[in-house]
Amino acid sequence: MDKAHYHGGRPRSEQARAAILNAADDLLVEVGYAAMTMKGISEKAGVSRQTVYRWWSHKAEILFEASAADAEEELATSLTGDPLDDLAAYLEALVRFLAHSPAGAAYRALLGEAQHDSAVAELLSAKDPLGDSARVVIERALGKDTLPVPLDQATALLIGPSFFWILSGRDPVQLVPRQLAEDFIRDLQSRQSR
Amino acid sequence: MDKAHYHGGRPRSEQARAAILNAADDLLVEVGYAAMTMKGISEKAGVSRQTVYRWWSHKAEILFEASAADAEEELATSLTGDPLDDLAAYLEALVRFLAHSPAGAAYRALLGEAQHDSAVAELLSAKDPLGDSARVVIERALGKDTLPVPLDQATALLIGPSFFWILSGRDPVQLVPRQLAEDFIRDLQSRQSR
Amino acid sequence: MDKAHYHGGRPRSEQARAAILNAADDLLVEVGYAAMTMKGISEKAGVSRQTVYRWWSHKAEILFEASAADAEEELATSLTGDPLDDLAAYLEALVRFLAHSPAGAAYRALLGEAQHDSAVAELLSAKDPLGDSARVVIERALGKDTLPVPLDQATALLIGPSFFWILSGRDPVQLVPRQLAEDFIRDLQSRQSR
Amino acid sequence: MDKAHYHGGRPRSEQARAAILNAADDLLVEVGYAAMTMKGISEKAGVSRQTVYRWWSHKAEILFEASAADAEEELATSLTGDPLDDLAAYLEALVRFLAHSPAGAAYRALLGEAQHDSAVAELLSAKDPLGDSARVVIERALGKDTLPVPLDQATALLIGPSFFWILSGRDPVQLVPRQLAEDFIRDLQSRQSR
DNA sequence: CTGTAAACGAGACGGTACGTCATGTCTTTTT
DNA sequence: AAAAAGACATGACGTACCGTCTCGTTTACAG
């Protein structure tokens, strides 16, 4: 017996699962989040509506699962050794993600929903791609123990300005990641020296 | 003749207008943004559905008009003369607005919609309560001409961390406005001194 | 003002009403009662599903309204003056109705539903085309006051055998209406003479 | 080997068969024919859905098999020797069956379905509990050879009025079996004497 | 004081998505 | 081969809101 906990019955179709996630991804780009419906997803995936509802309860849940991997990948960074370079590279990736990537659009849509749908809010707080990636970068660039601020608050200082800039609809071209990275480092240092 | 361009017909009912805006405000608190519908608003306001559609095309438009005044008021600050005090007070008001005020909930809901509805995005960019209020505070606290950074980018530095903190669902209690205000001032000073 | 109790609002569309009743009639013939659905009716009528549900709650209700007039007409009889002729003619019409007419098929379907759906049962008991027509015929053929049996029971004696024959799926050709009419008259007479 | 044509494999489970028939019987009483579903039957019987479909194709088929024996039993009569007594007793049993017995409710439901489902119609014409029982009673009470009418038509005369009365939703209390039996006998006699 | 014309209430209408349900089939392991 | 388990495609269910429409009524100013 291969499966650990077999309880009888036809096994879940991996094909259907993939088709649904792909359909959700595609629909987000093609028609936007608002016009994306459970019905539309099921039809685009060539799958019954019931099958969609069997495994997910909201379009947000589907979209989250569909874009989580992409988000993680796009926000992952390679280290250069130089803290400033690393942080600047990360902020650049962050801006690219939020402003231009499909996965970023998915994230913004989900975060938007989360503002008035607690189910979605829980989804995001359970696995937060921005917070997670930022924590990793800061730890590796500056060292975990030398931080004068709780790690979580440091992420807010790093991410906050770019996040606000893009979410509030401002032009991402005007953002200068290197400058923001410098500010961040200087800020932490001056806090430390007090 | 009072009205500038009268073209005959019954004048718009101020009573209906007020009832609709109030209904929208109330419904946001009672059922949340997602469950708020044009039909629900019209019924709660005791007004025909057509009357709502005659003057507004989305629930976002109604909500925006209904909460704009409150937002402006809640984000307005009185000056003390001390820049640090002023900025800290403003950040405190900002957090209170975003995290606890009904008008702030409306703003978050609208900003959420704006992430996937360009009509709402335009609405917000046309009159941006956060940006406007922050610009005013920074100008008055630090002086317009001494800023080493474009005013708009300064607002992002000031607002960004708190904005991200709350929008991403983190606990607003952990925010320390005075600390953030200090950081902001120190940041601008060190930029200047280079 | 034309309408007796106008309470505002767009008036009901007579066109939609007629289209729905026609669609129901047609569908019964084309696909049969079981395969007839509310959705199918609305689509065939070129009408929204909500419009159907606004005025009727079951397909049985629609079918009843659609076929009631036809049933009444097909079971109406013209008098000849001779009781035997009249009753025989009526039974002939009854058999034709039950066994061959579309309206009769509708009636049989409804009566079938009534056996396990009390809502349909009420519908039929409120306006019973068989009972009504039979009562009229018996009254006019034999006189209301000379009956030795309650009128209702007389209708059962007259109608019963043919009704059972057809409903139980037997061949209507083997029914001899004139013979049944004779039996009925003889029966009443012999009851009277006791 | 016991079975005549054994072809290997697991034998049919008698337990499952009985559970299904019982479940059908129970469900008819509990929820009525309309709300009775194949799914419901299988769940109530604690049996896989496939097992139900393997042996029966409609709920009508199951219900028929489940109630046939009961019907036969309830409509069987013991002879007293007196034709009038025998026929009256039979009619009484018939009314009790149609109006009050669960098996009778099953029969009415099936006959209802038969009006718009030819598969069910065939089922009933293949084994007709009413016709069969009536034929037996008439033969034994009046003698097979002295009948002036084909036996089948005689059953219609005997059963028809009660059948119509109950199927059309009238109150069974108002039926007087003895009276109807008298009518039936008198009718046949007067036909004979012509 | 009488038109005229837009605002308003009421509510019907065609659409479309919702989430659920039962259908009958299938795929898997177990008996 | 039969059976339990349960996933699957299909398609109707009845409901909700959408935005539009068509009525009769109301309310202002203009002539």
CATH of the structural domain D61-192, one choice from 1.10.357.10, 3.30.420.40, 2.40.10.120, 1.25.40.80: 1.10.357.10
Per-residue H/E/C for B36-96 = CCHHHHHHHHCCCHHHHHHHCCCHHHHHHHHHHHHHHHHHCCCCCCCHHHHHHHHHHHHHH
Residue C137 has pLDDT above 70, yes or no: yes
Model pLDDT, residue B55: 96
Model pLDDT, residue C2: 46
Q: Which residues contact A164 (CB under 8 A, 6 or more apart)?
A: B156, B159, B160, B163, B164
Q: Which residues of chain B have pLDDT under 70?
A: 1-6, 192-194
Chain A residues 49 to 78 whose Cβ lies within 7 Å of strand E are 49-50, 53, 58-59
Model pLDDT, residue B1: 43
Model pLDDT, residue B191: 79
Q: Which residues contact C70 (CB under 8 A, 6 or more apart)?
A: C101, C102, C103
CB contact under 8 A, A116 and B34: yes
Rounded Cα–Cα distance for residues C169 and C180 (Å): 19
Rounded Cα–Cα distance for residues B23 and B46 (Å): 9
For A118-151, how does the pLDDT look when each residue is reduced to its tens digit (9 = 90+)? 999 999 999 999 999 999 999 999 888 888 899 9
Rounded Cα–Cα distance for residues D111 and D162 (Å): 15
Kind plus residue range of the DSSP H or E element containing A59: helix A59-75
Check CB contact of A187 with chain B, cutoff 8 Å.
Answer: yes
Name which residue leads in pLDDT, A79 or D22. Answer: D22
Burial B51-77 (b: 16+ CB within 10 A, else e): bbeeebeebbbbbbbbbbebbeebbeb
Q: How many CB atoms lie within 10 A of CB D15?
A: 11
Chain C residues 4 to 63 whose Cβ lies within 7 Å of strand E are 7-13, 16-17, 46-51, 54-55
Touch criterion met for B and A (3+ Cβ pairs within 8 Å): yes
DSSP state of D12: P
Average pLDDT, integer, range A13-23:
97
Inter-chain contacts counted by CB atoms under 8 A, chains C and D: 113
Q: Which residues of chain D have pLDDT under 50?
A: 1-4
Rounded Cα–Cα distance for residues D58 and D38 (Å): 8
Distance of CA C152 to the CA centre of its chain: 16
CATH code of the domain occupying C67-192: 1.10.357.10
Tokens representing D43 are: 């769940």
Model pLDDT, residue D144: 79
Tokens representing C67 are: 């076929």
Kind plus residue range of the DSSP H or E element containing D47: none
DSSP state of C1: -
For A160-185, how does the pLDDT look when each residue is reduced to its tens digit (9 = 90+)? 999 999 999 999 999 999 999 999 99
C187 to chain D: which residues are within 8 Å by CB? 183, 186-187
* Residue that has been written with the tokens 């489940």 in this structure: D66
Cβ of B35 less than 7 A from strand E: no
Check CB contact of A151 with chain B, cutoff 8 Å.
Answer: no
> Kindly report the CA angle at C119 between C115 and C124, in degrees rounded to 5?
70
- Touching subunits of B (3+ CB pairs, under 8 Å) are A
Q: How far is CA A52 from CA A3, A19, A23, A113, B108, in A?
A: 23, 10, 11, 20, 30
Residue A52 has pLDDT above 80, yes or no: yes
Query: Considering only CA atoms, which of B168, C8, D44, C109 is closest in space to residue A112?
Result: B168
Average pLDDT, chain D: 91
Model pLDDT, residue A7: 75
CATH code of the domain occupying C14-56: 1.10.10.60
DSSP state of A46: T
Say which of C113, C114, C168 has its CB closest to residue D131: C168
Cβ of D50 less than 7 A from strand E: yes
Q: Are domains B14-56 and B67-192 of this chain identical in fold?
A: no
Average pLDDT, integer, range C170-184:
95
Model pLDDT, residue D2: 45
For A106-119, how does the pLDDT look when each residue is reduced to its tens digit (9 = 90+)? 999 999 999 999 99
Structural domain boundaries of chain B?
14-56, 67-192
Q: How far is CA D31 from CA C116, C123, D23, D36, in A?
A: 10, 21, 11, 7
Rounded Cα–Cα distance for residues A92 and A140 (Å): 17
| Under 8 Å between Cβ of C133 and C87 | no
Rounded Cα–Cα distance for residues B164 and B112 (Å): 13
Model pLDDT, residue B4: 53
Rounded Cα–Cα distance for residues C171 and D168 (Å): 21
> Kindly report the CA angle at C107 between C56 and C110, in degrees rounded to 5?
50
Task: For residue A47, give the 3-state DSSP assignment.
Answer: coil
Cβ of A16 less than 7 A from strand F: yes
